[in-house]
Structure 1
């Protein structure tokens, strides 16, 4: 049984592919989806972190056969095609695609960013999700339907010091979500989540030396965890959201609606 204990398995019988799924938000999503009954293929760039991710998930009580991994880059056309093919070959379907992989090689004002940093950011954070959606559409979703979830950011809707180019790409991802929700309907639902500040290694520089102060600025008085995003992802990718498409769900502890100082 894929579900842990007696917990319901709303994703039972479905296959999910999660890019950047070996740590942080991606690992949280991969683990919860497996707990909820899905077969999960985790894709990331580093094999050691992938094997560790699979180990931690299966040690939580998930059927080891329900979780697999593949080394791949989020901005690689070849890796997208090969990973989708592996998911279909291994599990017989690809019902859910989660585009979680992201990068942010530059922190600072837009006037200081270089071309290579700008290209890398958009290559992974904007072109990457589109390319993986193309691969999933061509190999499975067009004929069978399914759900796509893009992980954006509150930086895509709000101004953040130092995160201007990262936010520009995430804003593009929100528009891409809406556009593809229209283009791939009615068989494929496409939604996004905009996380606020989540305690992950990628965001460590933003919270490590001031977590309590940051938490105090939020209505819910704490930073987010990967599990917070995973729970929202499970809803949007399950039958409970069968009439939801083209939407971006903000999960930020109320940060964007906090009183202005």
Structure 2
């Protein structure tokens, strides 16, 4: 588990759901939350990788897993029910699941792929939020939601265009939800650049040093970089922050034309 000693206890007593958390950024977020005192429900498609993640997080005392498709409403209900069954409450939600089955120009993007991207990356985040609210998030104490967007939602890429469209929509969904759900529930987003995960391999594999040279920090991101930002936005340290998108990108978007 990760997390610095100064932040231990920041989420003591809180219960979180982190979607898409069997590996990569999602698992990094779950690890940080557990290290800081939270108990988590993690979701992903494959039970085997989820079981490995639960073991890494310290077992059922700290984490439980529910396998399923993030866009499936029955799966969403099952995960929220698991949070209440295992830990008696739900305080925090991290909408981390994202897909990108299509690379290339928008003019050539299959419409079926476009619909699937929007359904998983945007509509599912709204559905998770609705169901968490129905299950009491924010009703008995402050609630917080963080949506994992992307710098692809802030400007054109030419390569992952539909993914960027979905993340731009997720950023605006964050803004609308924050406006509507205050003061009981805060809603923010993070927008990472390229993070070294299996999901992003196509963007750096075989040329990591070259890609990293475009970043003022001269390295790609790590899951822990995103986890720290998410933990902050979920915490009482961010109690007067809502509707914001925190760019976590090693400085790559500072250059004109990037």
TM over 0.5: yes
Alignment gaps of 5+ in structure 1: none
3-state DSSP of counterpart to 2:43: strand
- Give, in whole Å, the separation in 2 of the partners of 1:121 and 1:165: 7
3-state DSSP of counterpart to 2:189: strand
1:77 Cα shift? 1.1
Choose which of 117, 120, 139 in structure 2 pairs with 1:121.
117
- Mean alpha-carbon deviation: is it higher for 47-56 or for 167-176? 47-56
- 1:147 pairs with 2:140: no
Q: Are the aligned partners of 1:219 and 1:258 in contact in 2 as well (CA < 8 Å)?
A: no
Q: Are the aligned partners of 2:101 and 2:117 in contact in 1 as well (CA < 8 Å)?
A: yes
1:153 Cα shift? 0.3
The residue that corresponds to 1:20 in the other structure is 20
Choose which of 234, 243, 251 in structure 2 pairs with 1:254.
251
3-state DSSP of counterpart to 1:26: helix
* Two-structure CA RMSD over aligned residues (Å): 1.6
- 1:33 pairs with 2:30: no
TM-score by length of 2: 0.95
Alignment gaps of 5+ in structure 2: none
Q: Are the aligned partners of 2:91 and 2:138 in contact in 1 as well (CA < 8 Å)?
A: no
Choose which of 116, 131, 136 in structure 2 pairs with 1:135.
131
How many residue pairs match? The answer is 255
- 1:206 pairs with 2:199: no
1:141 Cα shift? 1.5
1:165 Cα shift? 0.5
3-state DSSP of counterpart to 1:143: coil
- Give, in whole Å, the separation in 1 of the partners of 2:92 and 2:170: 18
- Give, in whole Å, the separation in 2 of the partners of 1:11 and 1:238: 7
- Give, in whole Å, the separation in 2 of the partners of 1:260 and 1:131: 35
- Give, in whole Å, the separation in 1 of the partners of 2:138 and 2:230: 22
Q: Pairwise mapping of residues 85-124 of structure 1 onto structure 2 (< 5 A)?
A: 85-124=81-120
TM-score by length of 1: 0.94
Q: Are the aligned partners of 2:99 and 2:117 in contact in 1 as well (CA < 8 Å)?
A: yes
